[in-house]
A and B are shown apart, each in its own frame.
Chain A
């Protein structure tokens, strides 16, 4: 059953069609990868689904069958969609624990203080933070630690759907390996994941299903092995072989 349904969604900036009639669905419990060249509309698609910073000009977005394209961005978060950003982002003036607590309380809509604190601590430990580090200011963390914290704040929301925007960018190889393990354990906890990534090992390792975008449209969709063997995809990524004159 589809958890997320995107139907003929579009967004233009002047004459540029950043996303041009994309239709796709994400099955519950799946890790779905999205790839494509720079400017193909991957991050814009995340923006349109989450309403941050803008929603779609046209089309429909449904989560669990409920339309969300007219909701404001914080309501979409409250409806169970958590996202991360390409750049490592944190609430620098708050501690590691407070960062996760904000996610649990407002995104997860957990009113009771004790339950919100429990959700925050759980999410932080899942992301590899030891309780001894909960009191550190987020502004003092390394790039990798901030990326993990961004994931932890998303998990603290106890979302149905997690949208990850290039979680491996700027990381070293061992950090990428650790991130793959982290995304796997989040998926194992029952969260459906959509993943934008340029790092192929990341995508091939994790995705059950892969979608390639190009020029704001869906170019190919299927199992990762099928998709990367698709001649249209090879052409977009590597260009055509120049024929001998």
Chain B
């Protein structure tokens, strides 16, 4: 059907988000999805199983927030994992050195990562493409070097150990077989995902995509490049930093490894495998890659190679990633239902 018609009379009031899933339907699916995840400890036994899921939730938070700046915003931000690392070290230093209460430190770490995102966005306001990669990558290296050079505070290459963990009243977080951390990580993912989806469904979310699609045209429609880029980067940083703080509290140590290329590559492959510009795709890919990687544990050195081949295979068959695959499958199922 053509979108153009000769001044057709409007029949009834149009839907609030034409062409998109209605907000109430998405909210119900969202609640059902997280209710299922909350029941997972019934299916996956043992504290190791819960540990794998906690890591999958944290990866999902980092990857889906990266999808906001990279997928929706089209900003080649290679400092995203540095924001996670800043969260790790901010929490470690705030709790150990300053003596701030863990939960307050976790929230503060989110804000510190947000401030760092604003700082790295200023030099890239007028830049495009490869130059943004260069500056953000340089920023990540700079943060790592600062942490290494301040070894009296940060422990340098040794890192920081015995970081205070999170607390829940009198509940013992260490002897509960990771139940509390499982539900806290799930809660963090739920909050982060809800915030991201609210942003991308809003008019600001549409503006972020508009700026990605055509900068001159977006400016001609009244969008401020500077304000919108700052907003995109800052809002992708808060939960990334909070995830870093959570990771530090959970592992109880901070290491410079979080700034390494290997973690960046893993998370980036989650964003791309999931399909950019969907949020849910990155989350799905984080779950699948983490679980698949665990299942392949017996394959030793073959494991990363198998995972890499799998990623290449999916990307070749479905360039839009897992989100594209799910969409195609849903379309196929719809046609099948209609034909019967």
Closest to B14 in A: A131
Stretch at the interface among B60-68, B154-162, B207-215, B231-239: B207-215
Stretch at the interface among B137-145, B217-225, B256-264, B286-294: B217-225
B203 and A101 form a contact (CB under 8 A): yes
A103 to B203, alpha carbons, bound, how many Å? 10
Stretch at the interface among B2-10, B43-51, B81-89, B319-327: B2-10
Interface centre among B213, B220, B277 (most CB of A within 10 A): B220
Given A102-B207, A145-B3, residue A135 in contact with residue B217 (CB < 8 A): no
Chain B residues with CB below 8 A from A208, complex form: none
Closest to B211 in A: A91
Q: Is the interface of B mostly helix, strand, loop or mixed?
A: loop
Chain A residues with CB below 8 A from B225, complex form: 74
Binary flags per residue of A57-86, CB closer than 8 Å to B gives 1, else 0: 000000000000000111001100011010
Chain A 128-182 interface residues, beta-carbon cutoff 8 Å to B? 128-137, 141, 144-145, 148, 150, 153-154, 157
For residue A122, give the distance in angstroms from its CB to the closest CB of chain B. 10
Q: Does A202 contact B (CB under 8 A)?
A: no
Given A106-B207, A116-B203, residue A128 in contact with residue B6 (CB < 8 A): yes
Q: Does A4 contact B (CB under 8 A)?
A: no
Chain A residues with CB below 8 A from B216, complex form: 52-53, 85
A94 to B223, alpha carbons, bound, how many Å? 15
A106 and B217 form a contact (CB under 8 A): no
Contact residue among B4, B10, B206, B219 (Cβ-Cβ distance under 8 Å from A94): B206
Closest to B213 in A: A91
Q: Does A183 contact B (CB under 8 A)?
A: no
Q: Does A5 contact B (CB under 8 A)?
A: no
Q: Does A222 contact B (CB under 8 A)?
A: no
Closest to A156 in B: B221
Q: Does A193 contact B (CB under 8 A)?
A: no
Q: Does A37 contact B (CB under 8 A)?
A: no
Stretch at the interface among A12-20, A21-29, A107-115, A227-235: A107-115
Closest to A82 in B: B220
A116 to B213, alpha carbons, bound, how many Å? 21
A105 and B203 form a contact (CB under 8 A): yes
A102 and B206 form a contact (CB under 8 A): yes
Given A116-B203, A135-B18, residue A102 in contact with residue B223 (CB < 8 A): yes
Contact residue among B5, B6, B20, B209 (Cβ-Cβ distance under 8 Å from A133): B5
Closest to B227 in A: A74
A149 to B218, alpha carbons, bound, how many Å? 14
A47 to B17, alpha carbons, bound, how many Å? 33
Tally of B interface residues using CB under 8 Å? 36
Q: Does B19 contact A (CB under 8 A)?
A: yes
A128 and B4 form a contact (CB under 8 A): yes
Q: Does A221 contact B (CB under 8 A)?
A: no
For residue A48, give the distance in angstroms from its CB to the closest CB of chain B. 14
Chain B residues with CB below 8 A from A226, complex form: none
A83 to B2, alpha carbons, bound, how many Å? 25
A116 to B206, alpha carbons, bound, how many Å? 13
For residue B44, give the distance in angstroms from its CB to the closest CB of chain A. 37
B4 and A77 form a contact (CB under 8 A): no
A94 to B203, alpha carbons, bound, how many Å? 11
Q: Does A50 contact B (CB under 8 A)?
A: yes
A77 to B210, alpha carbons, bound, how many Å? 15
Q: Does A98 contact B (CB under 8 A)?
A: yes
Q: Does B11 contact A (CB under 8 A)?
A: yes
Chain A residues with CB below 8 A from B5, complex form: 128-130, 132-133
B222 and A109 form a contact (CB under 8 A): yes
Interface centre among B10, B17, B20, B217 (most CB of A within 10 A): B217
Chain B residues with CB below 8 A from A207, complex form: none
A91 to B216, alpha carbons, bound, how many Å? 11
B219 and A73 form a contact (CB under 8 A): yes
Q: Does A125 contact B (CB under 8 A)?
A: yes
For residue A109, give the distance in angstroms from its CB to the closest CB of chain B. 7
Q: Which 7 A-B pairs have the closest CB atoms?
A: A135-B19, A133-B3, A107-B222, A135-B18, A106-B222, A130-B5, A134-B18
Q: Given A77-B222, A91-B217, A125-B10, 6 other A-B contacts at CB below 8 A?
A: A78-B222, A93-B213, A102-B206, A102-B207, A134-B18, A135-B19
On B, residues with C-beta under 8 Å from A are 1-8, 10-11, 14-20, 203, 206-207, 209-210, 212-214, 216-225, 277
19 contacts between A and B (CB under 8 A): A53-B216, A73-B220, A85-B217, A89-B217, A94-B210, A94-B213, A96-B18, A97-B14, A102-B221, A106-B222, A107-B222, A121-B14, A125-B7, A129-B3, A131-B11, A134-B19, A136-B19, A137-B19, A153-B221
On A, residues with C-beta under 8 Å from B are 50, 52-53, 72-74, 77-78, 82-83, 85, 89-99, 101-103, 105-109, 113, 116-117, 121, 125, 128-137, 141, 144-145, 148, 150, 153-154, 157
